[in-house]
Amino acid sequence: MSVLPSVRGKILTRLERAWQVRLAHFHKEITFNNPLDTAVISLTGAQCALDCAHCGGYYLRGMQPIWQARVDGAASCLISGGCDTLGRVPVTAHLDRIKAIRQGRVMNWHVGLIGGDEIKAIAPYVDIISFDFVGDDETIREVYGLDVTVEDYVQSYQLLRRYARVLPHLTVGLRGGELAHEHRALEILEDLGIEGLVLIVFIPTPGTRYADRQPPRIGEVVDILVQARLRFPDKPLYLGCMRPRGRYRAELDPLAVRAGVNAIVNPAREAVRLAEELGLTIRWSRECCVI
């Protein structure tokens, strides 16, 4: 296939196995998302207490502060924000404003670690929760600087699932481009159960402690995608918006199609062409991939 990067040997065999698993459990269609109709809102503006090694608050700057948010024309909202020193997004802040923009809109929340009182308070305004899941204690300490463990993430995940549809997010290469937590995270999530899984990829970001690192090797990312498809044969897999652009994306995205993902955000042209070659029906969406 002309747009599929050259892959050989073991990885090609595993890709074919993942593709056959996908065909056995899903219709021959794929969703490509350009989330222009999802308003991206921060409950804390550009403020975050953690200064995480991979983000440093950089991505909050591209979100609308809740107190200035304009949602006219938006069919949905992504509600996020910076964390406090315990890894919690202040989800109950600005609830009056949330109520004002709720009507008729789907709301996808990033909440961080959370307690029962907080999830009960926001539950009426939640349709989906996107929960960053980490499978290694040392990665948590190094990246986030938090004195918590994987068990804390497990407890928050289980709590959230009692109140809402939860889509765990797994960052491949979270620890400065190195694989450290991903395999264990998949094992844990397999035990806990999922409704779907969003996979994203570490991006070296200016001004952060990991600015001089490299993204994980594409073969490593593909291996995680394949593992996810084989572990979760009948659950939707999403390749999310956070991943390197340019040549990296042009090579990764078609391989993700072959690994059996169900949706890709802002796909490279190569992925679209491969989907067409494979006979997949393409559905285009203008909202966040989990909506």
The full set of domain ranges for the chain reads 9-285
C-alpha 254/C-alpha 228 separation (Å) is 16
Note the pLDDT of residue 2.
44
Q: Does an H or E element contain 176, and which?
A: none
The CATH code belonging to domain 9-285 is 3.20.20.70
Note the pLDDT of residue 4.
53
Residues of the chain with pLDDT under 70: 1-9
Could you tell me if 98 and 68 are in contact, meaning their C-beta atoms sit under 8 angstroms apart? no
pLDDT tens digits, 15-49:
999 999 999 999 999 999 999 999 999 999 999 99
User: Residue 69, Cβ neighbours under 10 Å: how many?
Assistant: 21
- Nearest CA to 256 among 1, 4, 6? 4
Could you tell me if 112 and 140 are in contact, meaning their C-beta atoms sit under 8 angstroms apart? no
Note the pLDDT of residue 10.
76
Alpha helices in 67-196 (DSSP H): 95-102, 116-122, 137-144, 150-161, 182-192
Cα–Cα distances (Å) from 135 to 18, 28, 173, 202, in that order, read 23, 32, 12, 15
Could you tell me if 32 and 272 are in contact, meaning their C-beta atoms sit under 8 angstroms apart? yes
Q: What pTM did the predictor assign?
A: 0.95
3-state secondary structure of 126: coil
Count of residues making up the chain: 291
